[in-house]
A and B are shown apart, each in its own frame.
Chain A
Amino acid sequence: MPATPSPPPEPAAEPGAPVLEVRDLAKVYPLTQGVLVKRQVGAVRAVDGVSFDLRRGETLGVVGESGCGKSTLARLLVTLEQPTAGEIRYRGEDITRLSGRALKAVRRNIQMVFQDPYTSLNPRMTVGDIIGEPFEIHPEVAPKGDRRRKVRELLDVVGLNPEYINRYPHQFSGGQRQRIGIARGLALNPEIIICDEPVSALDVSVQAQVVNLLARLQEEFALSYLFIAHDLSVVRHISDRVAVMYLGRFAETGTGPQIYDHPTHPYTQALLSAVPVPDPDSHRGRERIILAGDVPSPAAPPSGCRFRTRCWKARERCATEVPRLAVPSSFQGADSPAAHPSACHFAEERLPAPSG
C-alpha cells in the first residue's frame, strides 16, 4: 500500500473538467477460516491504490487480464461496494462517505452496463419493465404516466423497435440484449456510464454495432465512459485514454498512441505483443514476448513491483521498492510520446521493428 497519497495524474489536456476524481482507491476482501468463529487468515487486495480522473465526455479504457481487479474497480465506482480506503469524488464531493438521499442522487448519475447480456436481464420481466425499473427508484426523472413513452424513446435511441416493449429478454439476440442493457443504463440520464466488458460476449459483426452505438450515444449525451475490457483492440478504438491494470494497480496510463505505440512498462509491452492481429503478414517484424507463468494470486501478491515475478527485466530493486505510477525520470521534460506515467523502475521503450 502506498503510504503517501500519489499525485493526481497529469492535468487535463482534453476538453472537459473532471467529473470523477479517484484517489488511492483500495478494496481489500478478508479471507476467513472457520465456520462458527471466523478468523481472518489473509486478505485479497483486489484494488490496491488506484488514482485517476475521468473527464466530461471522455472515455477512459481500463485493460487487464482476469483477476487484475478491473471489475472490482467498476463495482466500487458505482458504489455497489464500499472501498477499504481512498476517495471517489464526483463533482468534487467524496461519494464513499455518502448515504441515504445524497447517495441515491449520485447513483442516478453513475450507471453501469454489464458484460453478460444473458444473465444481467431478469428473464421474467418485459423489456418495458426492465428499462423502466430505474424510474421506480428515481420517480423524479419520469412521472408515472410518462414512463412507457420514455421507454419507447430509449428503445428507439439504442436502435431497437419501440414495438418490442412487451417482449421478454429470451426473444432477443445477444446484441439486442446488450442494447436493452444500454437503454437501462441511459434511462436516468446519467453523466457517467461504467461499462464492464460490454461487448466481450458478442459476435464480431454484432460487437461492431454495439461499439458504434456506444460512441454515438457518448456524442449525443456528452457521456463519460469508463470502459473496462480485456480486448486491447476494442479499448484502443473507443478510448481517449487507457490505463493498463495488473494485480490491483495501474501499471501504465496514457493516450492511445502513448500506450499502444510507445509503451514503456514491460507488462504493457508483453500484453501488446501477445495480441493476435488479424493480418497474417503482421508478424514479420513483430517480436512476441511470451510471458512465463500465470498472474500471481492477489491474496499473496509479490513484494515490490507486482509484475516482477513474470518480468524479464526484474532486478533486486523490483523486489524491495514499489514503483510509483509517474512519468519515468528518464523521460521527464522530454517532448516524447514515451513520456507518460509508467510504474516501472526500468521503464523504457522497446523500439518495435517496422511492421508490414
Chain B
Amino acid sequence: MSRADRDAEQDAGQDAEQRAGQDAEGPPAVPRLLEVRDLRVEFRTRDGVTEAVSGVSYGVDAGRTLAVLGESGSGKSVTAQAVMGILDSPPARVTGGRILFRGRDLLRMGEDERRRVRGARMAMIFQDALSALNPVLSVGAQLAEMYEVHQGLSRRAARARAVELMDRVRIPAARERAGDYPHQFSGGMRQRIMIAMALALEPDLIIADEPTTALDVTVQAQVMDLLAELRREYAMGLILITHDLGVVADVADTIAVMYAGRIVETAPVRDLYRRPAHPYTRGLLDSVPRLDGGGRELYAIKGLPPGPADLPPGCPFAPRCPRAQDVCRAERPPLYEVACGDASVRRASACHFWKDELDARDPIAAP
C-alpha cells in the first residue's frame, strides 16, 4: 500500500480514530465493527486460578488494521481466542467484560447465533497452517466445504468457487492444485490457503494470529502484501496479533501493546514508534537490532515477564522498569489518556510516568 493511499485513508478514518483508545465516553452513535471492553479470562487448573487477560479493551473499525503487540504469555492470543469464541474451556473461562460485534455482545448470544456470526462474519488465520488444515482432505475440498455448509451450494458449484478463491490468493495453477493435500504445498502457499479459507465467506473481520511468523522473509513479504491488499479490497477490519515490531510498522493503523495480560499502551502506529509513552514499549523498540547497523550493545530489558501467578502488586512491569518508583510498586496504574499535544491523536498509557516517558528524548541508557 502506498504511503499516499494510507495518508488519505488516515484522514478519512480520523473519526474512527477519535473513538479509539479506551472506552471513556458512552457508546458511540455508530457501533464499531468490533469493540472489546474490559475483557477478563481466567484459567482454572489443578494448581489454582490464574488470570491470563485482566481487563483488556480494544476496538477496530471496518477497513482498518489494529495490531496487538506482545511477547509470549502477554495474553494477546488468549484475547483473540475469546473474541472468536474458541477458547479451550475448561480450563479457560471468560469471567467479565463485553465483546461487541457491530454493537451486539457476542458473550450474551446463544450458541447457535454465535456460531453463525463466527462462521460467516469473522474468521481467523493461525500461525501454523500445517496443523490448522485437515491433512487428509484436499485443499480444494476443504475450501469447498465452507460454501457447501454455509451457503448450501452444490458440490460442483462449491468446487468452482474454491478454485476461484485459490486463484484470488494467487496460488499458481489453482485448478490443477485444488486436488493436492496440505503437505504438498510450501509454507507460504499453505498460509495463502489459510487466508483463502478465512476470506471464503467474505467476513467483516479477520483476526490473524502471527500469520507470517513461521515464514521466510521473502515469503513473509508476499503474504503480508496479499493480506493488506485483500483487507483494502473487501474493506474488512483486521486484527493482527504479532510479536514482530517490524511487521506491525508496515501494516497497522493503531497498535495496542500488551504485557502480563493487560494493555499497557495504545496509539496510532507512527506516534507509538516516534514517541512511546510507556517504558515497556520503549524497551521493546530499543532492544531490536537495526538493519542499518551499529555494533553497540543492544538495550536489553532486564529480567523476565512475570507469570500470571506471580504478578507484583503494583505495575506489572515495575520490577523490570528503569523508571520505577515506590508508587509503581504499590499502585497499579490505570490506562491514562495521553495528551501528546495533538488533539486529533487518541492514545493511552498504563504508566504513572507516561508524561516523562513521552518527553524523554534519549533512549533509556542500559544500566
A274 touches B217 (CB 8 A): yes
- How near does chain B come to A136, taking the closest CB pair, in angstroms? 31
Q: Is B273 an interface residue (CB 8 A)?
A: yes
Q: Is A173 an interface residue (CB 8 A)?
A: yes
A290 touches B249 (CB 8 A): no
Digitize A184-227: 1 where CB-to-B-CB distance is under 8 Å, 0 elsewhere.
00000000000000000001111111011001000000000000
B249 touches A277 (CB 8 A): yes
B289 touches A237 (CB 8 A): yes
A294 touches B221 (CB 8 A): no
Q: Which residues of B contact A103 (CB under 8 A)?
A: none
Closest to A282 in B: B249
Q: How far is the CA of A276 from the CA of B221 in the complex (A)?
A: 8
Q: How far is the CA of A283 from the CA of B292 in the complex (A)?
A: 14
B225 touches A203 (CB 8 A): no
B270 touches A203 (CB 8 A): no
Q: Is A168 an interface residue (CB 8 A)?
A: no
- A window 31-75: CB within 8 A of B: 65-66
A276 touches B298 (CB 8 A): no
Closest to A175 in B: B304
Q: Is B189 an interface residue (CB 8 A)?
A: yes
Q: Which residues of A contact B285 (CB under 8 A)?
A: 278
Q: How far is the CA of A277 from the CA of B219 in the complex (A)?
A: 16
Digitize B269-302: 1 where CB-to-A-CB distance is under 8 Å, 0 elsewhere.
1100100000000011101111111110111111
Q: Which residues of A contact B367 (CB under 8 A)?
A: none
Q: Is A281 an interface residue (CB 8 A)?
A: yes
Q: Which residues of B contact A66 (CB under 8 A)?
A: 187, 216
Q: Is A275 an interface residue (CB 8 A)?
A: yes
A278 touches B288 (CB 8 A): yes
B249 touches A208 (CB 8 A): no
Query: How many interface residues does chain B have, given as a range?
Result: 35 or more
A294 touches B287 (CB 8 A): no
B243 touches A290 (CB 8 A): no
Contact of A232 with B291 at beta-carbon distance under 8 Å, contacts A237-B298, A275-B246, A284-B3 already known: yes
Q: Is A100 an interface residue (CB 8 A)?
A: no
Q: Is B127 an interface residue (CB 8 A)?
A: no
Residue with the greatest number of chain A CB neighbours at <10 A, chosen from B216, B243, B285, B301? B216
Contact of A256 with B246 at beta-carbon distance under 8 Å, contacts A205-B300, A232-B217, A280-B270 already known: no
Q: Is A89 an interface residue (CB 8 A)?
A: no
Q: Is B186 an interface residue (CB 8 A)?
A: yes
A274 touches B218 (CB 8 A): yes
Q: How far is the CA of A234 from the CA of B297 in the complex (A)?
A: 12
Contact of A208 with B292 at beta-carbon distance under 8 Å, contacts A276-B246, A280-B269 already known: no
- B window 196-251: CB within 8 A of A: 216-222, 224-225, 243-250
Q: How far is the CA of A60 from the CA of B304 in the complex (A)?
A: 30
Q: Which residues of A contact B217 (CB under 8 A)?
A: 65, 230, 232, 271, 274-275
Q: For the A-B complex with A205-B283, A233-B291, A277-B246 known, give 11 more contacts whose Cβ atoms are closer than 8 Å.
A: A204-B284, A208-B288, A208-B289, A209-B302, A233-B290, A256-B293, A260-B293, A276-B244, A279-B249, A283-B3, A283-B250
Residues of B near any A CB (own CB < 8 A): 3, 71-72, 172, 186-189, 216-222, 224-225, 243-250, 269-270, 273, 283-285, 287-295, 297-302, 304-305
Residues of A near any B CB (own CB < 8 A): 65-66, 173-176, 203-209, 211-212, 215, 230, 232-234, 236-238, 256-257, 260-261, 270-272, 274-284, 288, 290-291, 293-295, 355
Query: Can you list 13 A-B pairs, Cβ within 8 angstroms, ordered by A?
Result: A65-B218, A205-B287, A206-B304, A208-B287, A212-B300, A215-B297, A230-B217, A237-B289, A260-B291, A272-B291, A276-B244, A278-B248, A283-B3
